């Protein structure tokens, strides 16, 4: 609500909408949940109505969700909400007349027609949460919109937008059309008018946080703003959640500047509390369509992502992944962290040997990573069969288990940053361990790990792992690191290698690398 909250102008986020409305287009606005679709659409509707040229309103279709196959009940629920929304958001002369009596399959179409005919301005409807509908109800709504399309702008809404997670292709399928042709049966056959609401840019994050500074006087360091953007990649809910966590829950005094340390703490709190948005998003991880995309990303395996894949489109629209020019990756670093934590949930339940926080701290406060990895190796050999038995993401169970072990071991003192090397068969980890230095001042110990898997029939990944770790260490500016290789080959070969224990070698670039075979 602009009167209560800091805002990014809706016109900047969806600049194409006014022209599409002017041209009487039917179109789609889609984006992952909690990216600001409803907020932006409400602001646009208010602007369009205030212009004096249109009667624009956002109608929620979610009221029809409980009746996927009872079209009449769903339509009556939707129209009840529509009248209430119009009463709140439109002047009296633009509100709908009494809804006409009609048969169930035509009730929504007849209601929209009656409203359009009585309204002194062209009617513009943003149908929000359209994908809350399913079954016969969704099919009926889309067909009624298609049937009324030709009567616009006098006898039907001049412009309609379907707003939800889905792209236009999904609505063509649902309404009985061919998704591969422009002329298929659908009011949304102008596929050029399919708008994806993007994440915030760095400049928009700066602008949003600057509003807080103007309002309260509390400064955010430039590094903190850039770090918040880097962790979230501008995902609107996460950007706002970090700010809210710091100012309202951590209650950092307005006289104290917000730093990267505050961003780190807020990130950890959001992950641990599993806020509603994070929890609902990650509930999708067990969906087979999502697993087929997420698992190879986590494993770093060679995988050709078909750009027209329904699974990829679905997972992208959920906001879990994003496409780059070269590949597909997890949408942002915060999601990278929380996804592996969710997959590790329950792995340690009833399993003896899970670490306690701070159990690998040396007397001088530093983290004893060598001892931690040695204990994990013992733990993995003892529990591997149990941990992998019911795990749907078996390809990455070793990596996920180690991450869960690390998270528990450093809880309260450190963070584990994750990077997934798609196509490299690797996962890069950076442990940041906070402790007091020799002079008593706070310091951060940084430890880099490269995770690889030696699978049956594959070549030994040691050489490739050393090269990749060398490159990672160069980027981090570190002189040493650990290469962890999970040997998934038959037991006898695995036993011979793991009995060698950890080996320290010098990389081609002169860095010290400890190779740990598990």
Spell out the domain ranges in the chain. 10-196, 202-273, 343-517
Which residues, in sequence order, are bridge partners of residue 486? 453
Say if residues 26 and 190 touch (Cβ distance below 8 Å). yes
The predicted pLDDT at position 183 comes to: 44
The predicted pLDDT at position 458 comes to: 86
Instruction: Indicate the pLDDT class of residue 425, thresholds 50, 70 and 90.
Output: low
3-class secondary-structure state, position 42: helix
**Average pLDDT, integer, range 70-82:** 96
195 burial class (0-12, 13-18, 19+ CB within 10 angstroms)?
buried
Could you say which DSSP state residue 94 is in? G
54 burial class (0-12, 13-18, 19+ CB within 10 angstroms)?
buried
Pairing mode, strands 442-454 and 426-436: antiparallel
Could you say which DSSP state residue 180 is in? T
The overall pTM is greater than 0.85: no
**Average pLDDT, integer, range 358-386:** 90
Longest CA–CA span in the chain (Å) reads 83
The predicted pLDDT at position 500 comes to: 62
Contacts of 296 (CB under 8 A, 6+ apart): 303, 395, 422
Question: If one looks up domain 202-273 in CATH, what number appears?
Answer: 1.10.8
Measured CA distances, 397 to 344, 349, 423, 427, 449 (Å): 8, 15, 18, 13, 17
CATH topology of domain 10-196: Rossmann fold (3.40.50)
Instruction: Indicate the pLDDT class of residue 451, thresholds 50, 70 and 90.
Output: very high
Least confident of 3-17, 47-61, 242-256: 3-17
pLDDT exceeds 70 at position 41: yes
Distance CA 31, CA 59 (A): 17
Q: Which of 347, 339, 405 is nearest to 374 (CA)?
A: 405
pLDDT exceeds 90 at position 222: yes
Q: Which of 478, 495, 509 is nearest to 369 (CA)?
A: 478
Instruction: Indicate the pLDDT class of residue 420, thresholds 50, 70 and 90.
Output: confident
Least confident of 76-90, 200-214, 400-414: 400-414
The predicted pLDDT at position 82 comes to: 97
Q: Which of 513, 210, 167, 478 is nearest to 370 (CA)?
A: 513
Instruction: Indicate the pLDDT class of residue 482, thresholds 50, 70 and 90.
Output: very high
Contacts of 409 (CB under 8 A, 6+ apart): 355, 356, 357, 359, 360, 372
Q: Please report the beta strands in 437-496, taking only residues with DSSP state E, as ranges in sequence order.
A: 442-454, 480-487
Q: Which of 143, 151, 79, 80 is nearest to 122 (CA)?
A: 151
The predicted pLDDT at position 44 comes to: 93
């Amino acid at each position: 609500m602009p009167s209560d909250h800091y805002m990014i102008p809706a016109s900047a986020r969806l600049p194409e909408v006014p022209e599409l409305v002017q041209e009487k287009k039917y179109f789609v606005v889609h984006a992952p949940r909690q990216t600001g679709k409803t907020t932006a659409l409400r602001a646009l509707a208010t602007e369009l109505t205030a212009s004096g040229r249109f009667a624009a309103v956002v109608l929620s279709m979610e009221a029809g969700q409980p009746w996927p196959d009872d079209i009449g009940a769903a339509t009556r629920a939707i129209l009840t909400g529509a009248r209430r929304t119009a009463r709140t958001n439109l002047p009296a002369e633009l509100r709908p007349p009494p809804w006409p009596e009609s048969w169930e399959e035509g009730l929504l179409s007849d209601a929209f027609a009656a409203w359009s005919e009585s309204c002194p301005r062209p009617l513009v409807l943003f149908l929000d949460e359209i994908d809350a509908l399913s079954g016969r109800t969704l099919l009926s709504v889309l067909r009624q919109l298609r049937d009324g399309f030709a009567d616009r702008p006098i006898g039907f809404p001049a412009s309609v937008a379907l707003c939800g997670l889905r792209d236009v292709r999904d609505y063509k399928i649902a309404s009985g059309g061919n998704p591969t042709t422009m002329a298929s049966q659908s009011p949304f056959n102008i596929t050029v008018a399919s708008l994806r609401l993007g994440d915030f840019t760095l400049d928009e994050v700066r602008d949003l946080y600057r509003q807080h500074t103007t309002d309260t006087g509390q400064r955010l360091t430039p590094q903190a703003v850039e770090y918040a953007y880097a962790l979230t990649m501008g995902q609107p809910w996460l950007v706002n959640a970090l700010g809210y966590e710091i100012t309202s829950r951590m209650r950092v005094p307005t006289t104290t500047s917000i730093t990267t340390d505050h961003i780190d703490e807020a990130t950890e709190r959001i992950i641990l509390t599993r806020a509603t948005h994070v929890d609902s998003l990650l509930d999708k991880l067990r969906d087979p369509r999502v697993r087929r995309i997420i698992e190879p990303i986590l494993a770093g395996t060679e995988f050709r992502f078909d750009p027209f894949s329904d699974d990829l489109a679905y997972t992208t629209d959920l906001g879990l992944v994003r496409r780059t020019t070269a590949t597909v990756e997890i949408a942002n670093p915060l999601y990278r962290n929380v996804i592996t934590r969710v997959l590790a949930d329950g792995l340690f339940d009833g399993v003896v040997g899970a670490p306690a926080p701070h159990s690998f701290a040396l007397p001088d406060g530093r983290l004893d990573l060598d001892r931690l990895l040695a204990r994990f190796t013992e733990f993995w050999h003892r529990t591997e069969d149990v941990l992998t038995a019911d795990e749907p993401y078996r390809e990455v169970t070793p990596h996920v288990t180690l991450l869960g072990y690390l998270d528990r071991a450093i809880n309260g003192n450190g963070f584990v940053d994750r990077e997934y090397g798609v196509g490299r068969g690797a996962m890069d980890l950076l442990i940041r361990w906070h402790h007091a230095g020799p002079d008593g001042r706070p310091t951060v110990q940084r430890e880099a790990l490269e995770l690889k898997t030696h699978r049956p029939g594959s070549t030994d990944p040691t050489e490739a792992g050393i090269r990749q770790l060398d490159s990672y260490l160069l980027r981090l500016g570190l002189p040493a690191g650990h290469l962890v290789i999970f040997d998934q080959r038959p037991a006898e070969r695995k036993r011979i290698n793991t009995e060698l224990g950890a080996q320290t070698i010098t990389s081609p670039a002169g860095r010290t690398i400890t190779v740990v075979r598990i």
